[in-house]
Amino acid sequence: MYSRIAGTGSYLPEKVLTNFDLEKIVETTDEWIRTRTGIERRHVAAPDETTCDMAEHAARRAMESAGVGPEEIDLIVIGTTTPDQVFPNTGCLLQARLGIHGPPAIQIEAACSGFIYGLSIADRFIRTGGAKCALVIGADMLTRIVDWTDRTTCVLFADGAGAVILKPSDEAGIMSTHIHADGAYSNLLYVPTGVSKKHDPAVANQHCVIMKGSEVFKVAVNTLGRIVDETLEANHLDKSAIDWLVPHQANMRIIQATAKKLDMPMEKVIVTVQDQGNTSAASVPLALDTGVRDGRIKRGDLLLLEAFGGGFTWGSALIRY
Ligand code: COA
């Protein structure tokens, strides 16, 4: 028994913030942002919009594309690090919106790897008979936790949501998922405060993302290279078998390094970073939905999804779409 993606959906907030807009907020230039990151513009949520609002739009679109109603869904897994509230978890809030009563709603906090973690968990539920129709979402509103005076982070992060419906299938489907974490790197990318930790008056902007960008960059490139090897080896496949790389969209140079490792031309990589920035857990399902809806990704294609984020957490999924 395998799980198979029956439908995809995504959502981006209406407001677009360009690099030129950012030039008016912090000391930066369109040229710096474009050449260092590949980002040209990004979407930013409206003041009254929440992560659950974005997740609901993406979920409804995925359900519509899979031809699935709320009564069929028996598992919700949502990756987010920017939940609406401490609790109920965003999956519970979403459940109420969709009129789903009873099935488990799991929220995963794995930063940018949240969707891949969620996919891995839902896939295991389906393969072991624990679920028959899973809604898996990645949704984040990082613009609410960036310091808008810190040019090293505020130019990178953005908002959005992406979702898939997973169903059981005799044929793969999701061929394998691989998820990892190493908390030894927790000081390179983090938000200082949470709920239980005492506030440190010496730290400014305690609720905002702090990142040692160039160190994150190096570890991300190496780690993603390793997980590509791990995924191919686990499936006894050569890199030439992959039709599409669907990477986490943090930085064009990181994406290019992974594509190079796979000997893949950039035409075989779904790239959205220029228009969307880093939407954290939403970035991989947003890229997947983009590739599916514009007709590049077709049924039967072999996809390699990968992500890397704060924790550090990282993961991949090999999927026969
Ligand atoms: N505009 C203009 N200059 C900026 C800037 C900005 N927005 N942000 C940083 N700079 C400056 C720095 O202050 C530094 O100046 P200095 O040399 O005078 O000290 C210079 O640019 C180089 O900074 P550095 O951090 O070394 O640049 P970089 O080439 O490593 O690029 C990142 C910075 C953040 C784009 C890059 O490190 C990166 O993408 N890292 C990974 C981030 C990531 O993926 N995070 C999420 C993981 S999920």
Residue 201 has a pLDDT of 81
At residue 81 the predicted structure's pLDDT band, cuts being 50, 70 and 90, is very high
Q: pLDDT at position 203, please?
A: 81
Closest ligand 1 atom to Cα of 28: 1
- Distances in whole angstroms, Cα of residue 22 to Cα of each of 40, 143, 213, 262: 10, 13, 18, 34
Phi/psi at 315 (5° precision):
-175, 170
The contacts of residue 150 (CB under 8 Å, 6+ apart) are 26, 205, 208
**Residue 61: is its pLDDT beyond 90?**
yes
Closest residue to atom 10 of ligand 1, CA basis: 152
Mean pLDDT, rounded, for 133-144: 98
Compute the distance between CA of residue 273 and CA of residue 247 in angstroms, rounded to an integer: 10
Question: Considering Cα of 287, then 292, then 297, then 300, what sign does the dihedral take?
Answer: positive
Encode pLDDT of 148-169 as tens digits.
999 999 999 999 999 999 999 9
How far does residue 187's CA lie from ligand 1's centre (Å)? 17
Q: Which residues line ligand 1 (CB under 6 A)?
A: 28, 32-33, 36-37, 112, 151-152, 155, 211, 213-214, 216-217, 220, 250-251, 254, 278, 308-309
Mind listing the pLDDT tens digit for each residue in 241-257?
999 999 999 999 999 99
Q: What is the pLDDT of residue 311?
A: 97
The preferred substitution site among 153, 217, 276 for testing ligand 1, maximizing ligand atoms within 8 Å of CB, is 217
Catalytic residue among 112, 133, 154, 208: 112
CA distance 97 to 80: 17
Nearest CA to ligand 1 atom 13: 152
| Percent of the chain predicted with pLDDT > 70 | 100
Inform me whether the pLDDT recorded for 204 exceeds 90: no
For residue 144, report the distance from its CA to the centre of ligand 1, in Å.
Answer: 20
- Give the ligand 1 atom nearest the CA of 216: 41
Which 3 state secondary structure label does DSSP give 10? strand
CB-based contact 300:321 (threshold 8 Å)? yes
C-alpha of residue 298 to centroid of ligand 1, in Å? 36
